[in-house]
Amino acid sequence: MLAGVAGMAALAGTAAMAKSAFSPTPTRSNFMSVQGKEERVDIEPSFWACSDPKDDCSNTGCCKVSGHKCFTKVDGAQCNETCAAGKEGFTCDIVGHQSVPVHSVLGTNLNCFAVYTKDTGSPKPSTELALLTKQKQYGASLFGCEWWSVYSDVAADIGGYTTIKVEDYNGEFHQLKRKETKTWVNWGMFYQVWLKVKEQEGVYKADYTVKVDADAVFIPQRLRMYLGSTIKGDSPHGLYLENCQNVQYGFFGHLEVISREGARVLTSNLEECHSLFAPCANEGCDWKWGAWGEDVFTQRCMDHHYVDKVEAFDMTTDGACEADRPEGEKKNKKWNAPDCSQLKTVTSHPYKKPADYFKCLSEMSGQVFA
């Protein structure tokens, strides 16, 4: 998404951008004029278009860390999460405001899918199938969307519905395990999932395609309300919503929301992204944090093909995102909200035990689930 295809739109002149072998090549369409009074969508440029925390961000007007802003200083500008005028030379004006014109009106119809993995690689039993089965029973989570589907590495029954099986054609499902969780690195399986998503009509008809994890308490109507009040319309290059701040890549996988055009761009370019990223994704490519998860693969593919990014840090409550955890729980990667009744977000995650999941769902929805 280099400047999110127009992520540099509000910046006059040519921006100096950090480069990698995997960063997109700027084209003339990446630098759109901001002149005119048409309806516009606020976006954030992609990682490779932006500046490191210690760099002068005057030319890029954006930051590699999600949610950070480029603040002016007496001499130049620098990225930071917050700003206090007078400290360390900061004067605290914000450099750069990027937007793109609305290309098409979006409603709030949702095409939702989840993935059940039988062979996780871990000796711990998975609760995904039990969660999905009970969700379907109550019409909860993805089963409350206009279109829904469940993909898996096996053909499994979910209350009378058979999951759509994906095949390991490239031998990529079981290459490498994560040291902490002992589970398989999952980008290879999800690549095959997205190829199957591409075959479904919902991805072309819905206003948004949404991937949701089985252990994420998800209220579709809240997402419809959020999108209806937040997103003015689709961009010419599509949109995706970034939901975790203070990280390099903030498209966290428990809830992945992509506009119709964004989903079209992603699914149309999966094979090209695979040829570029698959050879190095297990090592992290140019990313120092090691093997990619499926969410990083998806975000990098959209960035590479200029899908625009929208900040949506208030959309989700995610224990996997340190910024969402309360003080005293910042290092607890297994944290979840113990009381969901006060949550206003679209999701709360993670809840792996069905009893905990439906307790939270009851508190968020006001409904009783036996």
Q: Where are the domains of the chain?
A: 1-101, 110-317
Q: Would you say residue 27 has pLDDT above 80? A: no
Question: Which CATH class for the 110-317 domain?
Answer: alpha beta
Give me the pLDDT at residue 97, please: 86
Rounded alpha-carbon distances, angstroms, from residue 332 to 126, 320, 327, 337, 338: 21, 9, 10, 12, 13
Q: Would you say residue 1 has pLDDT above 60? A: no
HEC letters along 217-256 = EECHHHHHHHHHHHCCCECCCCEEEECCCCCCCCCCCCEE
Rounded alpha-carbon distances, angstroms, from residue 308 to 4, 92, 119, 237: 4, 26, 34, 6
Give me the pLDDT at residue 37, please: 58
196, 209 Cβ separation under 8 angstroms? no
For 250-276, how does the pLDDT look when each residue is reduced to its tens digit (9 = 90+)? 999 999 999 999 999 999 999 999 999
Q: Would you say residue 7 has pLDDT above 80? A: no
Instruction: State the average pLDDT for the chain.
Output: 90
Distance CA 249, CA 333 (A): 17
Structure tokens at 136: 């379907």
Q: Could you tell me the sign of the dihedral formed by the alpha carbons of 200, 206, 209, 212, in that order?
A: negative
Give me the pLDDT at residue 48, please: 85
- Percent with pLDDT over 90 in the chain: 85
Task: Please state the φ and ψ torsions of residue 89, each to the nearest 5 degrees.
Answer: 80, 5
Structure tokens at 47: 């990682």
Q: Would you say residue 9 has pLDDT above 50? A: no
Q: Would you say residue 346 has pLDDT above 70? A: yes
What are the DSSP calls for 271-335, one per residue?
Answer: HHHHHHHTTTTTTTTT-TT-SPPHHHHHHHHHHHTT-EEEE-TTSEEETTSGGGSPTT-TT-TT-
- Cross-strand pairs, 331: none
Cis status, amide bond into 338, omega within 30 of 0:
no
The rounded radius of gyration (Å) of the Cα atoms in the chain is 20
The confidence band for 119, taking pLDDT boundaries of 50, 70 and 90, is very high
